[in-house]
Amino acid sequence: MRHIYKQGTDANAPVLVLLHGTGGTENDLLPLADAISPGSSVLSVRGNVLENGMPRYFRRLAEGVFDIEDLLFRTKELNDYLDQASAEYGFDRRNLVAVGYSNGANIAANLLFRYEGSLKGAILHHPMVPQRGVEPPRLAGIPIFIGAGENDPICTPQETEDLNAILTGAGADVIVHWERFGHRLTSTEVDAAAAWFRKRFAGEGKS
């Protein structure tokens, strides 16, 4: 998969896996990594699907309607790629924290839904429930930050609450940060995610 890898200065800090929104690239979320954990190594991955020329991680049938068959295929593709990248770059596969926005947050959430142990934690900015009627594997104690908009027209508050309930029900330790800027990813939301990360991964990624 097309990507950027940046070696960090702190070998113990979680490796940040950056997953962009629709139309984004592997460059988009690099500033978030600097804000969240400057010492971390960073793997920023571009989605392999194009929608009207815009990169995505999986196909959709309409706004908010996912192509589940493709979602499953692409989630496996990403999970396999994380295995491959860990061998190529020599980082600990068990020490990954995903940072995703919108479409990127959705596939990160589906990694949690499908592959036990795939992520050590996740920062999900404006995610939806990736699959309905699916029970995630055991997520005991996995820390998850969800950034949401009280007036988000794409990811409604109910969608956020449903995802929170599913993840919490599987044992994850979830916090939801609410704002009122629609589907936008704001600097205040990023700051809240960074503060959460520092608290949850104390002593990791401080350099």
Residues marked as catalytic: 102, 152, 183
Q: How far apart are CA 23 and CA 20, in angstroms?
A: 8
Signed CA dihedral, 150, 151, 152, 157: sign only: positive
Nearest to 183 by CA among 66, 37, 99, 64: 64
Check: CB of residue 131 under 8 Å from CB of residue 113: yes
**Which tokens in the block code for residue 4?**
């950027």
Side chain identity, residue 39: G
